[in-house]
Structure 1
Amino acid sequence: MLLTGMLLLSILLRRLLQGVKQQWRKRVLNRWRPLLMASLYEHPESLPQLSRFDLPDFLALWNHLHASLGNEARGSLNRVAGALRVPAAASLMLRQRSFERRLLAVRTAGNLRLATAWDALCALLESDSAGMSLAAAQALVRIDAPRAGQLLIPHLIGRDDWPAQRVTEILREAEAEQVTELLVKAVTGASPERTPRLIRYLMEFAPAEAAPIIARQLASPVDDGLLKVSLQALNDGNELESVRLLCRHANWHVRVHAVTALGRLGTHDDNTLLTGMLGDSQWWVRYRAARALSLLPGMTVGELLRIKDMQTDRYARDMLHQVMAELDLQAGLKHV
């Protein structure tokens, strides 16, 4: 009974505390949102004092507006933040124990381009938390993009927990020419298990620089993982001969990506090779070969039917039948 009573009391206190926090947040937003919105049009002559108790909720609102508005409006928000001594407060928050407050301070430092926070942000770049380290990376890029680029690329190699989409967003804020140069150097010296990730980033920023690297991987393969990524990224018809050879690779995962690349880049003459792949021992290879056949330039429904009727392998016929049914369904849905 005593334990049950203590548990109920704990739940009640937690709910009461949550209610108090919500009311406090509402009061802060009601006080500061109109002032911040008004500052976008005219810098206020005077501002109320920002208490340390209101600071976290104020910064959450300020950063939200910063992310939602254009450059001119951000300048107005930064002037208000300066008048309220937010830069000094954010610098202190970077060293607090609370994870949420430090994360809020990191975002604030980046949006303010707070150069004095550089060392603290570099330390947080090493955080075990992917969210914290990525936020620190973005803040560093916003403060000094050329200097930050030198720091970020080594982390791209070692941080498997950084989502590729977030990394791409951050790199887009850096200087494209510098990022490309650093990525090319990183790809050249990276281990086989790290290279695929870097090739994907390089394709995002500089497909022309990525092309010769991909060509080398296809011509002299050293790792199946690299081959798969290179085939996925390939967008150059000059490498078709290498792709055709890889359709016979011992690893069926590589064969899947090779026939898919043929469907994307191949010529009508590749129909013979792809027709042969319909008899592959792996279902996914047969399926991708059938899809690739349907995508070849000049391929018609009549020719697909002819190829299907010529097959003596039941699995090859069934696969072409399935893909043609999917194409019919897709065509029907487009007209709904």
Structure 2
Amino acid sequence: MLYLTMVLAFITSILLTPIVKRIAFRVGAVDRPNYRKVHARIMPRLGGLAIFGSFLIAYFILKPQDPISNAIEASFIPIETAIIIGALLIIITGVLDDMYEISAKAKLLGQLVAAGIVVVGGGLEISFINLPFGGVLDFGYLSIPLTILWIVGITNAINLIDGLDGLAAGVSTVALLTLAAMAFIMGDVYVMSMAALLAASTSGFLVYNFHPAKIFMGDTGALFLGFMISVLALMGFKNVTVVALIIPIIMLGVPISDTFFAIVRRVREKKSISEADKSHLHHCLLNIGFSHSQTVLIIYGIAALFGLAALLFSQATLWGGILLISVMLVAIELFVEVVGLAGKNYRPLLNLVKFIGK
């Protein structure tokens, strides 16, 4: 049944996207070119509505349920209901921003309320973690704000990488497929089903969003995908160990690392952390000579490597996991150095990077 519903979500997304495109032009939800944008013509936004609509249709047909949702003591409403309500609020926030470009504070407020519905209303929170060498770290009163911070942080991380045709949609699809695979291994049918349906919906949208894009997902799509990925990642690792919490961080390595470096860069340059710039990973790859499609495909590949690393980490021993993380950190640092040097016209290194990119 899941496979048939995934096919339905994929086809529905393909059918809904052109309709949403016409609606976007009609209501003025368009993205105009400027010095920071890569595209050179007016593009319709709101594409996230097609992803959300196709996912919602498939969701109500399949009706996946979390078997332990009713056992969550702090839950006021079933977690499944809380997620859908939170997602709907995120969609409304995104639509308002795509149409009227609301302030960063207003967007943040919408995200906080949506996260609060899931955490406070649905009872989804990480209250403690078991430390790898013994003992327990109890978050106490910080458990709710820390869980909300995770949801809002990942939501914005996906939004930040939405800078090239098909980039955020493709990276999100890779993350969702990784999440579905890990949920399958752990026997979590609910998370597996939700992630798989989202991946199918996003893949259908990619038919129109990959370069050259005919429509953008806008904040409607980026915020929705970020919200859903953050929530499902938390639900997928309920055994509250340090290892379990590291897995989703590895899985979302591309948006998290890009956001981390963006914050460091803006703090160093004494700018607001919410101020946009053209120094994200995709901008750097474009600057050193890769084409639009090559840049997107390279980042897809990096996201897939992070996903594979997360799968390996979930099956590794403690020391094997530590070794894997160490190798990953060294690899990230080397990649950052390579891109940085290549961007300064270090020709031999640039040629090597281009060769690997092929």
Structure 1 length-normalised TM: 0.25
Higher radius of gyration, 1 or 2: 1
Query: Larger helix proportion, structure 1 or 2?
Result: 1
Structure 2 length-normalised TM: 0.24
